[in-house]
Amino acid sequence: MRRHLRGALPAVLFALVLLGAWELYADSSGVDPLLLPAPHAMFSQLWDNAGLLWSNFTITAREVVLGLALALIVGFAVAVAIHLSPLLRRAAYPHAVGSQAVPIAIVAAPLCFWWGFGIFPKLLVIALICFFPIVVTTVDGLASADSDQLKLLRTLDASRLQAFRFAELPAAIPAALSGARIALAVGVIGTFIAETSTPTIGPYAGLGREITSDLTALQTSRAYAATAVLFVFAVACFYSLTLIEHRLAPWAYTHKGENP
């Protein structure tokens, strides 16, 4: 634990330097705090609105985690299907690429029409935004299995399915998890898009909604406070995923030294 804390020290110091510079600029340049609030205003909003931010955070956090899980399941399944069937690869891969060009606003309305104002259409939006990096990295990972290893498995009379199970699937896990890390980075902003493009019923609609409504209500410093929460949450998710990677694919990290 102490080692981890010491590892985080440079990042914390860097944050302090940036915040200091920002504070100096905001105080001395005369910039309108409605355009760019000073860090101290952001922190006092964090303190004053802790309850509100927390309630919104729990909603957003649930969306990020579930949306990413959905993206992982769908992305992994699509990658496996594409890997096992050349026909499917030719049929589906271009559409997976093209899906990334579809603006969410185009699909948000029918999704809400089908599934209402609950969490599910938002998860679909997040998954749509996140699944692509998982597909690409997993397809490459599955194809990266050592061809000599596959040959060896054939001499041991392994079936196609067994070759997949013993060689290709494990070889793809580190790549799939790299894809998940990219997906996570995209997924937090994807959640913002999901929240702001689909309506929600209820007192709290998540940090994304909070930010947009604060901005329109000229509560800029509170929007910054909500953004700070998103920022820290994204970092925490990223490092949790790194820990999961070490647990799931320990062989891939023995000689690579420190992770980011």
Q: Which of 14, 24, 90, 146 binds other proteins (CB under 8 A)?
A: 146
Task: Identify which range of 113-121, 176-184, 204-212, 246-254 contacts other proteins by CB under 8 A.
Answer: 246-254
Name the residue nearer to other proteins (CB basis): 214 or 245.
Answer: 245
Judged by CB under 8 A, the stretch of 58-66, 110-118, 147-155, 225-233 that binds other proteins is: 147-155
The verdict on 155 binding other proteins (CB under 8 A) reads yes
Which of 30, 86, 202, 250 touches other proteins by CB under 8 A? 250
State yes or no: residue 256 binds other proteins (CB under 8 A). no
Q: d(Cα 217, Cα 198) in Å, to the nearest integer?
A: 20
Q: Does 149 bind other proteins (CB under 8 A)?
A: yes
| 145 DSSP 8-state letter | S
> What residues contact residue 195 under an 8 Å CB cut-off, 6+ apart?
60, 63, 122, 205, 206, 207, 208, 209
The window from 10-18, 103-111, 183-191, 244-252 that contacts other proteins (CB under 8 A) reads: 244-252
In Å, how far are 36, 135, 195, 211 from 126, measured between CA atoms?
29, 15, 10, 18
Backbone angles phi, psi at 141, to 5 degrees: -65, -40
> Could you tell me the smallest distance in angstroms from the CB atom of residue 260 to other proteins?
21
Cβ of residue 171: shortest distance to other proteins, in angstroms?
Answer: 8
Secondary structure tally for the chain: helices H, strands E: 11, 0
| Least CB distance to other proteins at residue 247 (A) | 13
C-alpha angle 67-108-123 in degrees, rounded to nearest 5 = 10
Site string for other proteins, 177-196 (x = CB under 8 A): --------------------
Put residue 146 in one of left, alpha, beta given phi > 0 → left and psi -120 to 50 → alpha.
beta
Rounded least distance, CB 248 to other proteins, Å: 10
The CA distance from 75 to 153, in Å, is: 27
Compute the residue count for the chain. Answer: 260
Q: Of these, 167, 175, 180, 194, which contacts other proteins (CB under 8 A)?
A: 167
Note the residues at the interface with other proteins (CB under 8 A). Answer: 146, 148-149, 151-158, 162, 166-167, 170, 173, 249-252, 254-255
